[in-house]
Structure 1
Amino acid sequence: MHVLIAHNAIIPALEYGGTERMIWWLGKELVKAGHKVSFLVAEGSVCPFAEVLIYNPSVALSLQVPAYIDVAHLSVRPPNDFSKPYVLTIHGNPRSDEVLDLNSVFVSKNHAERHNSEAFVYNGIDFEDYPKPSYSHERRHTHFLGNASWKVKNVKGAIQIAKKAQQQLVVMGGHRINFKMGFRFTPDRHVRFYGMVGGKIKLDLIHRSKALLFPVLWHEPFGIAIIESLYMGCCVLATPYGSLPELIIPEVGFLSDNANDLAEQLKNTEQFDPKICHEYVQDSFSAKQMMQKYLEYYEVVLSGKTINSIAPKALYNYPKYLPFEA
């Protein structure tokens, strides 16, 4: 099978780039399984294991797909004249009034169910890109990992939790002074900001952390930060929204919409075994598992069927921000 993976961004990811890393790992696993892969991606992209085609935003997508492609894997809805079989991954939360494509695939069970669908594939990570964590070294801080300028990610709540628990917090994905969502200045000295970091710096900070604080204010579709943190031996303390109840089992974390409850758990992270956190991800969220599940959906569309019998659409008009008691 020859798969075209299309995403208008540079690969490999230059900093964090969650979607870019997912498609990179997916392509790599497809090649390992004996399939051919071509990437249709932004200028500046390179890849040692697959053909790279440069996406031109001024040319119709249909005209940029080679004839030799069997199936396309897209991250944006194709035009009506798109003739190749395709799968469309929905990474975020679409507008509540948006009617989605019949070949939409979501990134968690909850994500799919909230859009009247049963089609989902968990994101998976490539373990070769991560060091094996230590289970006995000292972990001195906790961390937040996400785009801190998005209010739904709730870095403010993470700071409150850490302060209540009298714990040092490392913020990856934001700065002490932020103008993107109106002026925000964080004077707390127990918080250190590292901006948008990736690679070894990010992994070292996670590896020295006790826990990921993830008090999101929306229905999280998946949360790659969760899987990365667990893999590195960190428990996860989060709000119970979206996919989080299905991803965070009691052995690896705790869920609450109350900052005091989360702070109490943060004081007692010794109850969570880093080895169990690590092995949980190894067993459940590998890039190989992700690839195998997508192969099943590729076969569906190659057979001439659609993935969903009716077009997915949000079942409810969700509030912009979900509750969080500080």
Structure 2
Amino acid sequence: MKILIVHRAKIPVILYGGIERVIWDLGKELTKLGHKVVFLVNKGSSCDFAQLVPIDESLEIIEQIPNDVDLVHFHFVPENVQRTKKPYLITIHENLITTNAFDLNSVFVSKNHAEIYGADSFVYNGLDWSEYTDPDFTKKRSHFHFLGKAAWRVKNVKGAIQVIKKTKSEKLKVLGGVRFNVKMGLRLTFSPRVSFYGMVGGREKEELLNGSKGLVFPVRWHEPFGLAIIESLYFGCPVFGTPYGALPEIVTEDFGVLSNRVDDLVAAVETSDSFDPKLCHEYALTEFNSRKMTLAYLGKYEKVLSGENINTISPKLKDSQQRKFLEWR
């Protein structure tokens, strides 16, 4: 089968790149399984295992679909997608606040994410763990970490800092943020127990995760999935977060603690050594790998290739969130 993967981004990813990392690993796994992959992505991309077609910004995306592909997998919602002449599906990666109905062939990235739009079709993200270094379980773990775009207030880096500052002596390393931020609401952090590393990637990020006691992740929105969660688990880090979005699906009692109360997470962080790093690692390795994700998508591909729709009714946002931020106290 020849599969076109479409996303408005440049690949491969260097630093953060959540969706870019997912589509790269998906394309690689499809190739390993004997399929041909074409990426329709932004100019400047490179890839050694698949054909690349650069997006022409002067044309609609659907006008740029090659004639010889069997199926198109969009990773955003293109204009006039219903006019696509090839079988297709769309993965919705984000929380899209809209009153418009979604395409019948929409797939979400967690059960909760799908349910928000009145759907039940989802595929968990998975990563190619062979691209990561093996965790060193003999290494001393000296800090906790936050991982994500800290400038997004829904990610609640303030809450993560608050949790750590209420412990007796724990330290936090913020991966994805800076100490002084006035862009997304004033944040001035002077605590010597909190350090900032900006948008780190590659081996530097892996070293920081491998030295961490756990991920502090008190998000204040319905997290669609959260690659930060599975990357942290892979390196043996339990997760201390809020019970929103996909977190309760991924973070069961063996792998962390979820609460929207600061004091609950403070207590959990201070007893983080009760979690088994090797068990966290094995969980991420077996449940959230790119092969498992790819096989799930192949099941969806077969469905649309046979002329069926992914959903029986068009997904639509069930309830607009009344508050911008979910409860944190």
TM-score (norm 1): 0.98
Q: Which residue of 2 aligns with 1:161?
A: 163
C-alpha distance in 1 between matches for 2:189 and 2:269? 21
Shift of 1:51: 0.2
C-alpha distance in 2 between matches for 1:12 and 1:134? 26
Q: 1:240 aligns with which of 238, 243, 267?
A: 243
Q: Which residue of 1 aligns with 2:17?
A: 17
Q: Which residue of 2 aligns with 1:289?
A: 292
| 2:121 maps to 1:119 | yes
Q: Which residue of 2 aligns with 1:231?
A: 234
TM-score (norm 2): 0.97
C-alpha distance in 2 between matches for 1:98 and 1:177? 38
Shift of 1:13: 0.5
* Gapped regions of structure 2 (runs ≥ 5): none
Cα RMSD after superposing both structures: 1.0
Q: Which residue of 1 aligns with 2:86?
A: 84
C-alpha distance in 1 between matches for 2:175 and 2:47? 27
C-alpha distance in 1 between matches for 2:232 and 2:247? 14
* Gapped regions of structure 1 (runs ≥ 5): none
| Cα shift readout 1:54-109 (whole Å, capped 9, x = no counterpart) | 01122111221110110011022232422111110000111152311111100001
* 1:273-288 pair list within 5 angstroms: 273-288=276-291
What SS class does the counterpart of residue 212 from structure 1 fall into? strand
Q: Which residue of 1 aligns with 2:52?
A: 52
Q: What amino acid is the match of 2:132?
A: Y
Shift of 1:286: 0.7
Q: Which residue of 2 aligns with 1:6?
A: 6
What SS class does the counterpart of residue 227 from structure 1 fall into? helix
Q: 2:195 aligns with which of 183, 192, 195?
A: 192
C-alpha distance in 1 between matches for 2:62 and 2:259? 46
Question: After TM superposition, where is structure 1 displaced by more than 3 Å over at least 4 residues in a row?
Answer: none
| Cα shift readout 1:277-320 (whole Å, capped 9, x = no counterpart) | 00111121110000000001111111111111111012212231
* 1:58-207 pair list within 5 angstroms: 58-78=58-78, 79=80, 80-165=82-167, 166-207=169-210
**Structure 1, 311-320 or 200-209: larger mean CA deviation:** 311-320
C-alpha distance in 1 between matches for 2:328 and 2:114? 24
- Contact 1:216 1:241 (8 Å CA) reproduced: yes
C-alpha distance in 1 between matches for 2:120 and 2:72? 21
Q: What amino acid is the match of 1:134?
A: D
**Structure 1, 86-95 or 71-80: larger mean CA deviation:** 71-80
* 1:244-259 pair list within 5 angstroms: 244-259=247-262
Q: 2:267 aligns with which of 238, 241, 264?
A: 264
Q: Which residue of 2 aligns with 1:320?
A: 324
Shift of 1:254: 0.5
C-alpha distance in 2 between matches for 1:72 and 1:225? 27
Instruction: Among all aligned residue pairs of Structure 1 and Structure 2, give the percentage whose two residues are the same amino acid.
Output: 51
